[in-house]
Chains A and B, each alone.
Chain A
Amino acid sequence: MSDRLGVLYDSYEDKLYRLARRLCRNAQDAHDLVQDTFLRAAQAVSSIPPGSAEYAWLVRVLVNLRRDEWRKAVVRTRSASLVAPAREAVPPTAESALITKRAVWSALDALAPHRRTIVVLAEIEGMPPTEIASLLGLAVMTVRWHLSMARRELKRSLAEYLGENHEDAIEYPSRRRSAAR
């Protein structure tokens, strides 16, 4: 058992950390998330499916743990946003790239964890929807729908940072269908 856990760790720890880092606000949170994922794996190591499905199993545990954390954070934030701006104050000397990055991560933070995971896998890791669906155990249509909704939400939040013709640059499944007709 311990050997298998060690093999799992050596095989997937880096990949899981990369995904976790893109789902968390900072490196420490990502580190903790990966640790919790493997601790969960340690408790159920005999029930982890063999072969290529083991990575999918670990990813789903990681995303579910992230979702639990996200829910707790949502409760913690409460009504602070009523009286205080949610965005961090940006020093006037900060570069525009930094401002854009902060805006991007704030916009990603606003997405639900599953939706954010799908966006990260598709847009940053370049994974096709069929592969994402297989990894997360979802229907391909569900992945496409979440991707489309996430892009719309991000486009709305980041409108000022996108180019003038950003709508044309964003590809929606419905547009692809109509264009194909």
Chain B
Amino acid sequence: MKTLSNILRDADPLRDEAPRTAEARQQLRQTVLAAPRDVGQRRATPRLTLLAAAVLVIAGIVTTKFAWQHASVDAVAAVQFEARVAESGLTIAANRDVLTAHAVPGSKAGTFGIELTFTPEGAEKMRRATQEHIGEHLELLIDGKVVMAPLIRSAISTSAVLSGDYTADQTRQIIEGLIDEKLELRSKK
């Protein structure tokens, strides 16, 4: 019977690999000792610090205003996204799990797909669910309509591509809708 500790130790790469050569270690030592020292200890001048603080405050005000406007005005136009296991109907991820949405070239000229990147929590949910359902189909839905249903061949975690061959207008609407929904969810917290 193999235990987890056994197979981890058996797979230890240091057991099989040849030891590093003295030359390689010496070369690394020389590189390290020749490196510039303590540059992190330098302090910015007070004038630069004040300027940086002012820029940060202005950027914060602009960002907050922009986010608030989008969160309160465009919530109606939100697009519902859902990823679920086709066979069981189990929902894996939704809008709140989407971090970013970008347009990517579609399979036909002039069409687009949408690449979604998941939040760390969303990615973890996707990874777990898809790992448990390898060999089944993953359904990706936009506003309740299945836009694609690829076979799960391996665990999916960080991102997914909706290859729906959308027009430019459709792509823009979906991306804006996904992001607006995200802002709306944030504003409610």
Contact = CB atoms under 8 A, between A and B. Distances in A.
A123 B5 CA distance: 6
Contacts of A151: 4
Contacts of A178: none
A74 B37 CA distance: 32
B104 to A, nearest CB: 9
B3 interface: yes
Interface string A76-90: 011101111111000
Interface residues of A, number: 60
Main SS at interface, chain A: helix
B66 to A, nearest CB: 24
A5 B13 contact: no
Interface residues of B, number: 44
Interface in A105-154: 105, 108, 110, 119, 123-124, 151, 154
A1 B37 contact: yes
A67 interface: no
B41 A46 contact: yes
A81 B9 contact: no
B35 interface: yes
A75 B17 CA distance: 30
A104 B11 contact: yes
Minimum-distance CB pairs A-B, first 7: A163-B1, A104-B11, A169-B3, A38-B32, A42-B35, A86-B154, A101-B11
13 contacts: A6-B33, A10-B29, A27-B13, A31-B20, A43-B39, A79-B158, A86-B154, A86-B155, A97-B10, A104-B8, A123-B4, A124-B8, A170-B4
Given A42-B38, A46-B38, A87-B154, 9 more contacts: A39-B35, A43-B37, A47-B41, A74-B158, A79-B159, A82-B150, A85-B153, A163-B1, A165-B1
Interface of B: 1-5, 7-14, 17, 20, 24-25, 28-29, 31-33, 35-41, 115, 117, 123, 127, 131, 150, 153-161
